[in-house]
């Protein structure tokens, strides 16, 4: 372990200066005390662009310590380019062990997915959030949406869902599906597929959400009621597939569709790359087990 | 408020501020995420006279020039005040309603929770976090906690709280999204009672 | 294997970055640019990067431009990401542009004003003809500009002082005990925005965005009928009061461009007709930017002055939330990141809608037959 003031370290431990960490830490505590409420915070410029995980990175930097084991995924996969880049960043600036193993990680940073393996009490899940305001698509003004949250006036959201039902016969939102926290604050779960929404409810882990560009932090403590909005006659439902994972045969995980040629041939594979690998190691096999994609993973750094 | 400090009298703060504040924060974060659960901050810091170890650790971890701090009369003007000013560099405020944090060393004389900043409708996060030193986190009358962060219920029994404290906390919770967030500390131990927590004295 | 290419992993990233380095260097037969050359010979690029990067350091800005291969928003981003890690000592005293060592000062409002029109180093009135002698031998003999016969007025009177005796221009008195100004680098934007917050956001804002907004205002989308009261360029001292000393010390000198735009106001029942101002200030020599900021600032004062709001330039949330090119560039370009998980959700939905559409069509066809 390199002491934080060792001369060879050009930046502070975990990149952020201590004052910035304190400011973010205070925001996290307020976010936990008011579940689902968006706390404005003095987001800083990070060495990666806005929109590429700066909120999640700032949250991680504010909480991470050398005893942590860090996992970072994008679209459920550990080997997507941006996840690799962020994982490298923390390995470098925070002296942490990194892992692809969901069960081993103490901090899991994610863009667009929650791992399939149920989270545990010793884990903190950090979501990268592009747009923290669930109502932004319906009302562009922050002054208006902040007032709606202040007085819990969420009629606009229900009208929009109702319009979707009357236009398409169902609620059209497939990702970033809005949720109510403890029946008080309407919250964006970040652009996770609605498939993952049920995992937010009564979670064992602390869930933190960071939006760097929009400068907001919010949180869902463990064992908090998270309800996906719906109507009695149009109940919330998650995505399902007729196919199972081509590599591991999983029938209940979120699947990515991979085109194999220009003629419409395709395969479906788990979006959660570690979940899939773990199942294959345990001897599960799908209809295309042994396919090139199976071997495409590089060894962990 | 800004008399010069007698540096010779100041107790040391964190030995490794980066590491220790991170470790303290993770414990505190977990305590706030799981109201009623007890965090042990024994490793952190030996605070100045009058300030419990856990309160001192929280002060070093969360206070700075951006957070006006209210000190109760037991702490104001004393060695603890000098220590906090020196190590945290925070402004002190005599107004409870302007405080980001309040440190209460003598729980019996704690001002009513409603005297602190309750936040506003659009920015409820601007309310005061009130840190109260109590005689102990066990041995008092049992109180049942429910709410976000608690699976079914958590029973706590802190000792040395002012009369009527739990009624105040109930009022505090009833006015959610407004309200203060409370931390109880005793020696090296800390537990959190954020405004989202419902507390009821156990009957019978 | 449409999406597999994004799962390139560590090696692909490293290789891509090496390739980027090669491209940055270009043909190795050509000597490498030094940051000193950029600082001295690309000085307006340096100024823009310092202004939008919120960091006055010519050498770091030059380095950022070199590293960014001349992509100025990328250079601004590099400088911002460096700036944010610097410890903060406090706020300087307000700079006094009235005491500026002026290099350029022009006013369009009067034929001549006290202190005179000082053209200084300007592209204005140059003929925009490519100067092939610059390309031919790389070094063109420079004819030194002659010294003026008489020393320039000091301090150089401001446009406000010209109007003062007739009270034709609104007063702008410093607020006593106003405390520290809003600081966007430490607090998120909040609305309604004070003028301090607005002017800071505009000073950091993207020159192209602000130029277009100012232009839209001139063309009638929220017009303020601006007139250029004054532009001044020059050097000002920066003073700071260290806590332990208790009196100001000069910590350096910076170049700034300042612009005051004038707009007529017909007044109200309680307010006499008077000229109002829009104000723009930038680091370095950024004249186009300072003028744009002044026009946009004035347009955004519409509530205070009592003007209708029906154009983008008058909408504070629209202007301030979208003027930062580090935020904008990051978010637009984040669309390059994989989105296949959400796209999968959308694909399923579109396929279902299509299936239902064709089922409906088939049913209608059947019914018709």
What is the per-residue pLDDT for C243? 73
Residues C300, C161 share a domain: yes
Question: Annotated catalytic, A276?
Answer: yes
Instruction: Identify which of A51, A77, A81 has the shortest CB distance to residue C334.
Output: A51
What is the per-residue pLDDT for C7? 52
Q: Has residue B12 got a pLDDT over 90?
A: no
Contacts C354 to A, Cβ<8 Å: none
Q: Which of C85, C86, C200, C339 to mutate to test the interface with A (most CBs of A within 10 A)?
A: C85
Residues C309, C225 share a domain: yes
Contacts A203 to B, Cβ<8 Å: none
SS (H, E, C) chain A: CCCCCCCCCCCECCECCHHHHHHHHHHHHHHHHCCCCCEECCCCCCCCCCCCCHHHHHHHHHHCCCCCEEEEEECCECCCHHHHHHHHHHHHHCCCEECCCCCCCCEEEEECCCCCCCCCCCCEEEEECCCCCCCCCCCCCHHHHHHHHHCCCCHHHHHHHHHHHHHHCCCCCCECCCEEECCCEEECCCCCEHHHHHHHCCCCCEEEEEECCCCEEEEECCCCCEEECCECCECCCCCCCCCCCCCCCCCCCCEEEEECCCCCCEEEEECCHHHHHHHHHCCCCCCCCCCHHHHCCCCCC
Question: Which one of the listed residues A212, A245, A249, A264 is annotated catalytic?
Answer: A245
What is the per-residue pLDDT for A174? 92
pLDDT digits (tens, 9 = 90+) for A139-166: 999 999 999 999 999 999 999 999 999 9
**A237 CA: distance to closest CA in chain C (Å):** 12
Instruction: Identify which of B32, B63, B150 has the shortest CB distance to residue A29.
Output: B32
Contact C84 A44 (CB under 8 A): yes
Residues C251, C109 share a domain: yes
Q: Where are the beta strands (DSSP E) in chain C?
A: 101-106, 227-240, 249-265, 274-283
**A8 CA: distance to closest CA in chain B (Å):** 16
| Mean pLDDT value across residues B124-128 | 98
- Domain of C267? 97-120+152-172+182-329
- Mean pLDDT (chain B, rounded): 94
Residue C248 lies in a domain: yes
Q: Has residue B3 got a pLDDT over 90?
A: no
Residue C133 lies in a domain: no
pLDDT digits (tens, 9 = 90+) for C192-228: 999 999 999 999 999 999 999 999 999 999 888 899 9
Q: Residue A209 has which token pair?
A: 């959400």
Contacting partners of chain B (3+ CB pairs under 8 A): A
Contact A300/C at CB under 8 A: no
| Mean pLDDT value across residues C20-33 | 95
What is the per-residue pLDDT for C271? 78
Q: Which of A16, A19, A51 to mutate to test the interface with C (most CBs of C within 10 A)?
A: A51
- pLDDT band per the 50, 70, 90 thresholds, residue B10: confident
Q: Which CATH superfamily is domain B16-195 in?
A: Bacterial phosphonate metabolism protein PhnH (3.40.50.11310)
Contacts A150 to B, Cβ<8 Å: 121-122, 177
Domains contained in chain C, number: 3
**A228 CA: distance to closest CA in chain B (Å):** 17
**A135 CA: distance to closest CA in chain C (Å):** 16
Contacts B129 to A, Cβ<8 Å: 29
pLDDT digits (tens, 9 = 90+) for C72-116: 999 999 999 999 988 887 889 999 999 999 999 999 988 888 888
Q: Has residue C9 got a pLDDT over 90?
A: no
Question: Annotated catalytic, A72?
Answer: no
C5: three-class secondary structure by DSSP: helix
Alpha-carbon distance of B42 to A65, in angstroms, equals 18
Q: Which of A26, A43, A45 to mutate to test the interface with C (most CBs of C within 10 A)?
A: A45
Contacts C331 to A, Cβ<8 Å: 50-51, 130, 213
Instruction: Identify which of C189, C330, C356 has the shortest CB distance to residue A49.
Output: C330
Question: Annotated catalytic, A270?
Answer: yes
Contact A256 C340 (CB under 8 A): yes
User: A19: nearest CA in chain C?
Assistant: C87
pLDDT digits (tens, 9 = 90+) for A204-246: 999 999 999 999 999 999 999 999 999 999 999 999 999 999 9
Residues C360, C260 share a domain: no
Alpha-carbon distance of A40 to A48, in angstroms, equals 20
Residues C260, C205 share a domain: yes
Contacts C6 to A, Cβ<8 Å: 80-81
Q: Has residue A279 got a pLDDT over 80?
A: yes
Contact A291/C at CB under 8 A: no
Contacts A137 to C, Cβ<8 Å: none
Q: Has residue B1 got a pLDDT over 60?
A: no
Q: Has residue A15 got a pLDDT over 70?
A: yes
Residue C64 lies in a domain: yes
Residue C2 lies in a domain: no
**A183 CA: distance to closest CA in chain B (Å):** 11
Instruction: Identify which of A21, A34, A147 has the shortest CB distance to residue B125.
Output: A34
Contact A65 B22 (CB under 8 A): yes
Q: Where are the domains of chain A?
A: 18-132+187-226, 240-301
Contact C347 A46 (CB under 8 A): no
Contacts B149 to A, Cβ<8 Å: 32, 221-224
User: C350: nearest CA in chain A?
Assistant: A172
- Mean pLDDT (chain A, rounded): 92
Name the more confident of B150 and C165: B150
What is the per-residue pLDDT for C138? 67
Burial of residue A261, with CB atoms counted within 10 A of its CB: 0-12 exposed, 13-18 middle, 19 or more buried: exposed
What is the per-residue pLDDT for C159? 87
Kindly give, in sequence order, each residue whose CB lies less than 8 Å from that of residue C164, ignoring residues fewer than 6 positions away: none
- pLDDT band per the 50, 70, 90 thresholds, residue A136: very high
DSSP letter (8 states) at residue C154: S
pTM of the prediction? 0.91
Contact A79/C at CB under 8 A: yes
pLDDT digits (tens, 9 = 90+) for C117-171: 999 999 998 889 998 888 876 677 788 888 888 888 889 988 888 887 788 888 8
Contact B33 A206 (CB under 8 A): yes
User: C321: nearest CA in chain A?
Assistant: A214
* ipTM of the prediction greater than 0.85, yes or no: yes
Question: Which CATH number does the domain A18-132+187-226 belong to among 1.10.10.10, 3.10.20.30, 3.90.1150.10, 3.40.50.11310?
Answer: 3.40.50.11310
Whose CA is closest to B87, among B79, B95, B77?
B79
pLDDT digits (tens, 9 = 90+) for A93-135: 999 999 999 999 999 999 999 999 999 999 999 999 999 999 9
Contact A193/C at CB under 8 A: yes
- pLDDT band per the 50, 70, 90 thresholds, residue B4: low
Contact A43/C at CB under 8 A: yes
Q: Has residue B203 got a pLDDT over 90?
A: no
């Amino acid at each position: 372990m390199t002491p934080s003031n060792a001369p060879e370290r050009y930046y502070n431990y975990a990149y952020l200066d201590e004052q910035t960490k304190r400011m973010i830490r205070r925001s996290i505590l307020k976010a936990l005390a008011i579940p689902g409420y968006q706390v404005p915070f003095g987001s800083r410029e990070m060495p990666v662009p806005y929109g590429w995980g700066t909120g999640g990175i700032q949250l991680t930097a504010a909480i991470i310590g050398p005893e942590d084991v860090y996992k970072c995924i994008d679209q459920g996969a550990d080997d997507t380019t941006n996840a690799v880049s962020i994982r490298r960043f923390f390995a470098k600036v925070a002296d942490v062990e990194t892992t692809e193993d969901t069960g081993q990680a103490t901090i899991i940073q994610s863009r667009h997915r929650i791992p399939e393996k149920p989270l545990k009490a010793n884990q903190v899940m950090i979501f990268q959030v592009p747009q923290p305001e669930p109502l932004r698509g319906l009302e562009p003004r922050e002054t208006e949406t902040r007032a709606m949250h202040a007085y819990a006036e969420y009629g606009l959201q229900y009208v929009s869902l109702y319009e979707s039902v009357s236009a398409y016969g169902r609620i059209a939102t497939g990702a970033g599906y809005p949720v109510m926290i403890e029946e008080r604050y309407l919250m964006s779960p970040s652009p996770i597929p609605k498939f993952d929404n049920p995992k937010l409810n009564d979670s064992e882990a602390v869930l933190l959400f960071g939006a760097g560009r929009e400068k907001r932090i919010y949180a869902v403590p463990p064992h908090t009621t998270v309800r996906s909005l719906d109507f009695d006659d149009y109940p919330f439902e998650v995505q399902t597939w007729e196919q199972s994972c081509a590599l591991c045969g999983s029938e209940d995980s979120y699947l990515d569709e991979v085109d194999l040629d220009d003629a419409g041939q395709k395969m479906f594979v788990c979006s959660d790359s570690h979940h899939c690998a773990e199942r294959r190691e345990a001897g599960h096999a799908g209809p295309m087990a042994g396919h090139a994609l199976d071997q495409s993973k590089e060894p962990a750094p | 408020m800004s008399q010069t400090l007698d540096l010779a009298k100041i107790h040391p703060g964190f030995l490794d501020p980066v590491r220790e504040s991170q470790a303290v924060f993770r414990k505190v974060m977990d305590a706030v995420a799981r109201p009623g659960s007890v965090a042990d901050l024994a490793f952190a810091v030996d605070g100045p006279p009058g300030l419990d170890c856990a309160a001192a650790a929280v002060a070093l971890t969360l206070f700075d020039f951006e957070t006006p701090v209210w000190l109760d009369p037991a702490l104001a003007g004393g060695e603890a005040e000098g220590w906090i000013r020196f190590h945290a560099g925070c402004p002190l405020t005599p107004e409870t309603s302007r405080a980001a944090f309040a440190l209460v060393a003598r729980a019996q004389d704690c001002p009513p929770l409603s005297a602190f900043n309750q936040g506003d409708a659009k920015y409820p996060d601007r309310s005061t976090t009130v840190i109260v030193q109590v005689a102990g986190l066990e041995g008092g009358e049992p109180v049942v906690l429910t709410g976000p962060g608690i699976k079914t219920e958590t029973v706590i029994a802190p000792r040395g709280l002012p009369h009527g404290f739990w009624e105040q906390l109930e009022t505090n919770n009833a006015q959610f999204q407004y309200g203060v967030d409370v931390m109880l500390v005793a020696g090296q131990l800390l537990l959190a009672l954020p405004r989202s927590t419902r507390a009821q004295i156990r009957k019978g | 294997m449409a999406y597999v290419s994004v799962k390139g992993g560590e090696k692909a990233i490293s290789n891509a970055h090496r390739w980027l380095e090669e491209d940055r260097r270009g043909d190795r037969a050509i000597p490498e640019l030094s940051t000193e050359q950029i600082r001295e010979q690309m000085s307006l690029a340096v100024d823009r990067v310092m202004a939008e990067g919120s960091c006055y350091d010519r050498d770091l800005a030059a380095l950022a431009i070199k590293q960014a291969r001349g992509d100025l928003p990328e250079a601004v981003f590099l400088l911002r990401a460096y700036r944010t890690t610097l410890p903060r000592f406090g706020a300087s005293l307000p700079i006094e542009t009235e005491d500026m060592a002026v290099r350029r000062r022009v006013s369009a409002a009067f034929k001549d004003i006290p202190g005179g029109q000082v053209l200084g180093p300007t592209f204005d009135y140059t003929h925009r003809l490519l100067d092939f002698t610059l390309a031919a031998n790389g070094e063109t003999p420079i004819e030194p500009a002659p010294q003026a016969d008489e020393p320039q007025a000091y301090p150089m009177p401001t446009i406000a002082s010209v109007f003062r005796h007739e009270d034709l221009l609104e007063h702008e008195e410093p607020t006593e005990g106003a405390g520290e100004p809003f600081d966007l680098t430490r607090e998120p934007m909040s609305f309604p925005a004070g003028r301090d917050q607005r002017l800071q956001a505009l000073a950091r804002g993207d020159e192209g965005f602000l130029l277009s907004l100012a232009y839209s205002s001139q063309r009638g989308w929220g017009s303020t009928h601006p007139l250029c009261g004054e532009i001044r360029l020059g050097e000002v001292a920066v003073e700071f009061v260290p806590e332990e000393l208790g009196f100001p010390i000069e910590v350096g000198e910076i170049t700034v461009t300042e612009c005051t735009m004038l707009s007529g106001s017909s007044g109200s029942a309680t307010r006499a007709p008077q000229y109002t101002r829009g104000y723009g200030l930038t680091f370095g020599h950024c004249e186009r930017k300072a003028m744009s900021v002044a026009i946009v600032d004035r347009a955004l004062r519409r509530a205070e002055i009592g003007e209708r709001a029906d154009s983008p330039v008058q909408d504070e949330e629209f202007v301030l939330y979208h003027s930062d090119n580090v935020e904008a560039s990051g978010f637009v370009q984040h669309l390059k990141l994989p989105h296949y998980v959400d796209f999968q959700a959308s694909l399923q939905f579109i396929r279902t809608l299509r299936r239902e559409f064709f089922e409906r069509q088939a049913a209608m066809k059947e019914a018709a037959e």
